[in-house]
A and B are shown apart, each in its own frame.
Chain A
Amino acid sequence: MQDVQYLIIGGGVCGVTAAESIRRLKPDARIVVLSAERHPLYSRVLLPHLVKGKVPRERVFLRTEAQLSAKQIEMVYGARAIRLDPAAHEIETVDGETYRYQKLLLATGGDVLSLGVPGDDLAGIVPLRTVEDADTIIAELSSDSSSERSAAVVGGGFLGLEFPPFFEKYGYTTHLVIRGPRYWWRVLDEEASGLIEQTMREHGVVIHAGTELVACEGEGHVRAIQLSDGTRVPVSFVGYGVGIAGAPSWVTAAGIAGGTNGIVVDEHLRTNVPDVWAAGDGASFFDTTVQRSHRLGNWLNAQEHGRYAGDAMVGAVTEPFHHVSAYATQIFGLNISFIGDLTESDDSIWISRGSAVEKKIARFHLRNNIVVGAALFNVMIDRATITMLIKDRVSVEGRHATLRDPSIDLKTLLG
């Protein structure tokens, strides 16, 4: 039995940032981080750069063992929690170790969802979540002896966009499979989807839209994929990103509210159980910037959640968590940034600014005349202004023309 003041489950950016926040405020407390991974914190954001050969492997690591032990943050690697007893304040790991905590943070992230079709366990079918996934992708793509190389990517999110540049680098023809009629069809209009698809096609990507993967074929290693529209595509590699799993079963078994959308927490990142917080990719939190609950899977959100949760566990913060997060990437020269909340609901209104011809588009998501999110393509100059519009819940009633017209400065909305 180990007695720990601050116990953190998860060694990603959320968990480690929380541990470091606690340490700044509590120089002498015992802080233990249980990580299912085998390495100190690394940057998931840099994994695409690693696969493309733009950074050496050692550069993706953001902390060294020495830095963490200098802060007296006890990292336990390869530790998977399997049981939580909230009444006794105890966590048990798969190795049979028991930790008694005073305050607990569940920064569990999320395991990737598998493709869920026959043959999805064949070799050569790989997500991009961990540094080991990146290693596997590099090994697969660099050892392929096929004379005509083809690869598929399944899933229409940010991760779906990261694979085509890998495949181009290694000389593959890319087949992109998206379930909807066009890329990000729930969020974007035809113009903005068209900008992404046009960029992809300019790099030789074959887009299979409005169809689903029904099977992966091969003996031991993937050799083809079968689509619901009857198409069969010979491929020697499949990259995918179709979402991450919900709340771990050992968490919900302990009476903590949660489900397929993650562990449920309030605007203070507290679960329904005393002394237990949840944060990061695995938490569905009440977001005061948009006045609703949702789950965000991005680096900045995980880090800010971690910082807040650490302070909250120490009792150093009483204000609710209030932060507008964003995710940005660059694919084939196209700068893409998603800010705030882009999940459509019944009261959503969408406004577009700019055009695909100029390759500059901003797409605003409004509820009740308040901008709650935006998707930006090559218009990064407006990012700070839009973030302030969202954060301050500025009313744009009667001012939709300003949002729509690229010749009017968005700063005029801030008054």
Chain B
Amino acid sequence: MKYRVVVDPDLCIGAASCVTVDPAHFALNEENKAVVLDPDVQDEARPYERTMELSEDQKDTLILAAQSCPTLAIFIYDPEGKQIFPE
């Protein structure tokens, strides 16, 4: 199932809780903002948004990471484009 994961850089303050909870899918860039990684794609790109294949377990961890964000700067959309986080 392909999900779209979006970080709003205006909301992100670099608290790094997402990186702590889900380092496979998040990292910080040089501006101290979270960016989205795809572990299946070994690229150097550091985008604020990606659409990627996620297993159920991966999706659960990603939601935990989004939930841990103190500014709720991470948005997750299901394959139909419906926002599943924040609920």
Contacts and interface: CB of A to CB of B under 8 A. Distances in A.
Interface stretch (A43-51, A129-137, A194-202, A274-282): A43-51
B15 A300 contact: yes
Interface string A325-338: 01111100001010
A304 B32 CA distance: 20
A328 B32 contact: yes
A303 interface: yes
A384 B28 contact: yes
B14 A328 contact: yes
B43 interface: no
A281 B68 CA distance: 17
A351 B32 CA distance: 22
Nearest to A328: B14
Contact of B72 (A62, A303, A330, A335): A62
Interface residues of A, number: 27
Given A300-B17, A303-B68, A328-B15, A67 B28 contact: no
* Main SS at interface, chain A: helix
B14 A380 contact: yes
Given A13-B70, A43-B70, A62-B70, A383 B32 contact: yes
Interface in A295-314: 299-300, 303-304
A83 interface: no
Contact of A45 (B13, B19, B30, B67): B13
B83 interface: no
B57 interface: no
Interface in B15-60: 15-17, 19-20, 27-32
A4 to B, nearest CB: 24
Contact of A299 (B15, B30, B32, B67): B15
Contacts of B14: 328, 335, 337, 380
Contacts of A46: 70-71
Contacts of B27: 384
Nearest first, the 4 closest Cβ-Cβ pairs linking A and B are A380-B32, A45-B70, A381-B30, A328-B14
17 contacts: A13-B70, A62-B70, A299-B17, A299-B70, A300-B20, A303-B68, A304-B20, A326-B15, A327-B15, A328-B13, A330-B32, A335-B32, A337-B32, A380-B28, A380-B32, A381-B29, A384-B19
Interface of A: 13, 17, 43-46, 49, 55, 59, 62, 67, 299-300, 303-304, 323, 326-330, 335, 337, 380-381, 383-384
Interface of B: 11, 13-17, 19-20, 27-32, 67-68, 70-72, 87
